[in-house]
Amino acid sequence: VEDRLIDYGAILIETPIMYTVKNKKLTAQTARFPARSYWVESGKDRYLLRYASDFLLFDLFSQMNLKPHYFPLRAYEFEQYDFRREQEGELSGLRRLRGFIMPDLHTLCKDLELSIDEFIKQYQLIKNLENDLGIKSFVIFRVTQEFYDENKKWIIDLIKSENHPALLEIWEDRYYYYILKLERNVLSAQDKSATLATNQIDVESSLDFLVDNDGVKRQKYNISFTDTDGQIKHPIILHNSPTGGLERVLWGLIESSIRNKDKLVPGFKTWISPIQVRIITVSDDQNEYAKKILSILNSEEFRADFDDREETVGKKIRQSEIEWIPYTVVIGKKELQNQSISIRKRLIGKPFGPKKQTCEQLNDVKLDKLLELLEEDTRNFPKYKLPIPFRNFSKRIYFRK
Q: Judging by DSSP bridges, how do beta strands 38-42 and 45-49 pair with one another? A: antiparallel
**Per-residue model confidence (pLDDT) at position 32:** 62
Distances (CA, A) of 3 to 10, 76, 103, 139: 10, 11, 12, 25
My answer on whether 19 and 108 are in the same domain is: yes
Question: What pairs with residue 305 in β-bridges?
Answer: 278
pLDDT digits (tens, 9 = 90+) for 105-139: 999 999 999 999 999 999 999 999 999 999 989 99
My answer on whether 252 and 274 are in the same domain is: no
What is the per-residue DSSP string for 38-105? EEEEETTEEEEEPS-SHHHHHHHHHTS-B-GGG-SEEEEEEEEEEE----GGG-BTTTB-SEEEEEEE
| Confidence grade of residue 51 (pLDDT, cut at 50, 70, 90) | confident
Whether 27 shows a pLDDT value over 80: the answer reads: no
Residue-range definition of the domain harbouring residue 165: 2-259
CATH code for the domain in which residue 380 is found: 3.40.50.800
**Per-residue model confidence (pLDDT) at position 217:** 66
**Per-residue model confidence (pLDDT) at position 201:** 97
CATH code for the domain in which residue 242 is found: 3.30.930.10
Tell whether 264 is covered by a domain: no
My answer on whether 34 and 132 are in the same domain is: yes
My answer on whether 115 and 12 are in the same domain is: yes
Question: Which comes out higher in pLDDT, residue 155 or 37?
Answer: 155
Residues 368, 374, 377, 379, Cα dihedral to 10°: -80
Tell whether 224 is covered by a domain: yes
**Per-residue buried b or exposed e for 19-41, using 16+ beta carbons within 10 Å of the residue's own CB:** bebebebbebbbeeeeeebeeee
On the CB side of 279, CA atoms within 13 Å amount to 32
My answer on whether 239 and 346 are in the same domain is: no
Question: Which comes out higher in pLDDT, residue 259 or 22?
Answer: 259
Tell whether 91 is covered by a domain: yes
> Which of 204, 238, 259 delimits the end of a domain?
259
Give the whole-angstrom CA distance, residue 111 versus residue 236.
Answer: 6
Tell whether 73 is covered by a domain: yes
Tell whether 265 is covered by a domain: no
My answer on whether 274 and 254 are in the same domain is: no
Q: Judging by DSSP bridges, how do beta strands 138-144 and 73-83 pair with one another? A: unpaired
My answer on whether 78 and 139 are in the same domain is: yes
Whether 257 shows a pLDDT value over 70: the answer reads: yes
Domain count, the chain: 2
Tell whether 87 is covered by a domain: yes
My answer on whether 316 and 207 are in the same domain is: no
> Which of 230, 259, 288 delimits the end of a domain?
259
Give the whole-angstrom CA distance, residue 269 versus residue 275.
Answer: 11
Question: Which comes out higher in pLDDT, residue 353 or 203?
Answer: 203
pLDDT digits (tens, 9 = 90+) for 371-384: 999 999 999 999 99
Q: Reduced to 3 states, what is the DSSP secondary structure of residue 246?
A: helix
My answer on whether 137 and 67 are in the same domain is: yes
My answer on whether 230 and 274 are in the same domain is: no
My answer on whether 248 and 279 are in the same domain is: no
Question: What pairs with residue 351 in β-bridges?
Answer: 264
Q: What is the mean pLDDT of residues 177-192?
A: 92
Whether 351 shows a pLDDT value over 90: the answer reads: yes
My answer on whether 278 and 245 are in the same domain is: no
Tell whether 401 is covered by a domain: no
The model carries a pTM of: 0.89
Per-chain mean pLDDT for the chain = 91
Return the percent helix, strand and coil in the chain, to nearest 5: 35, 30, 35
| Confidence grade of residue 50 (pLDDT, cut at 50, 70, 90) | confident
Q: Three-state SS string across 312-348, please?
A: CHHHHHHHHHHCCCCEEEEECHHHHHHCCEEEEEECC
> Which of 211, 230, 259 delimits the end of a domain?
259
Tell whether 143 is covered by a domain: yes
Give the whole-angstrom CA distance, residue 327 versus residue 345.
Answer: 5
